[in-house]
Structure 1
Amino acid sequence: MSETMYYHLQTKPLEQALPQLLAATLKRGWKAVVMTGETGRVEALTEHLWSYEEDSFLPHGNAKDGNAELQPIWFTDQDENPNQAEVLFLVDSAESQNLNSYTRVCRIFNGNDDHAVQQARLAWKTENEAGRALTYWQQTEQGAWTKKADANTKESS
């Protein structure tokens, strides 16, 4: 069974945190699907990766670009895995019925949005009851990630 990592955004927005997480994913040799709950966000996030840092590049695409099987990072608003990715990033309240087809699922949610926090809590409860391996990460003031809880060991800090 795959693991789910919850990323609680507090100080940096998704547009700053996501490229860092995607870069770490590619560094491991994994492919990623980024699934958003809003159609318009697919193109916005895709475009953002072209300019998020002047000297960085993360290879990526979406349905507009085509050739999904060749893309290490695939942006979509559909519950799909056309590039055979190992990691699924769920952003903007996106939900997937295929969590177990990934090695890792990363749920990224805005801690300043009460609705997003409630959705994350409900997803944690549901996934925990299903026996999934869960960890909860929270941003520090500097934007780094600190592990705050692990559902399997009942560890929390």
Structure 2
Amino acid sequence: MGNALFYHLTRSAAEQLLPGLIGKARQAGWRVELRGIDPARMARLDDLLWQGDGFLPHGLAGGPHDAVQPVLLTAAADARGGVGADCLIALDGAAVDPAECAPAQRVCVVFDGNDPAALDRARGQWRSLTGAGIAAEYWSEAGGRWERKA
């Protein structure tokens, strides 16, 4: 059973964190699902990942090769429920069911700490996952670099 890592963004945007998270997951040999809630945002992230410094092979959900994509960008409406993903990265409050954590190596919840609604959603996700027995870690960048807080 994988653990859940919560990333509390306060100084940077998700766009700065995601390539590193995805890159580390790929180095571990994991298939990744990056799940958001807005298809337009996922399309922008698709562009960003192609234009970044490193090569992160990926695709947007809805194509003929979804099942074999090493990194699949999904929106809540087309999320595949973590099926086949070793690492699920939830962005912008995308739902994560505790049952998805069991087969995954890792679940990452990335949230904007400057948005009170995002904080409330992340707290709810923390309670839901830890209440189901999922080990969770809280990471903060408030001090200027990423530090594990809990």
Q: For residue 11 of structure 1, report the CA deviation from its aligned partner.
A: 1.1
Specify the SS of the correspondent of 1:112. coil
Q: For residue 145 of structure 1, report the CA deviation from its aligned partner.
A: 1.6
Counterpart Cα distance in 2 of 1:83 and 1:101: 9
Kindly indicate whether the alpha-carbon contact (under 8 Å) linking 2:101 and 2:134 is maintained by their aligned counterparts in 1. Answer: no
Counterpart Cα distance in 2 of 1:82 and 1:70: 13
Counterpart Cα distance in 2 of 1:19 and 1:91: 13
Kindly indicate whether the alpha-carbon contact (under 8 Å) linking 2:88 and 2:108 is maintained by their aligned counterparts in 1. Answer: yes
Kindly indicate whether the alpha-carbon contact (under 8 Å) linking 1:34 and 1:91 is maintained by their aligned counterparts in 2. Answer: yes
Select which of 86, 101, 104 maps to 1:102. Answer: 104
How many residues are treated as equivalent by the alignment?
Answer: 146
Q: For residue 87 of structure 1, report the CA deviation from its aligned partner.
A: 0.3
Counterpart Cα distance in 1 of 2:62 and 2:48: 15
Change (3 A) 1:79 1:89: same
Specify the SS of the correspondent of 1:96. coil
- Give the 5 Å matches for 1:31-46: 31-46=31-46
Q: 1:93-142 deviations in whole A, cap 9, x for unaligned?
A: 10033333322110000111111011111111122221110000111554
Give 1 or 2 for the bigger CA radius of gyration. 1
Identity value in percent? 32
Who is 1:154 aligned against? none
Counterpart Cα distance in 2 of 1:12 and 1:106: 16
Kindly indicate whether the alpha-carbon contact (under 8 Å) linking 1:31 and 1:83 is maintained by their aligned counterparts in 2. Answer: no
Kindly indicate whether the alpha-carbon contact (under 8 Å) linking 2:82 and 2:88 is maintained by their aligned counterparts in 1. Answer: no
Who is 1:148 aligned against? 149
Specify the SS of the correspondent of 1:16. helix
Who is 1:68 aligned against? 66
Stretches of structure 1 that go unaligned for 5 or more consecutive residues are 150-157
Q: 1:63-107 deviations in whole A, cap 9, x for unaligned?
A: 354312331110001331587220000001100333333221100
Counterpart Cα distance in 1 of 2:84 and 2:40: 23
Shifted more, 117-126 versus 95-104: the winner is 95-104
Counterpart Cα distance in 1 of 2:8 and 2:142: 10
TM superposition score normalised by structure 1: 0.85
Looking at secondary structure, tell me which structure has more helix per residue. 2
Over 2 Å off, 4+ runs: 63-66, 96-101
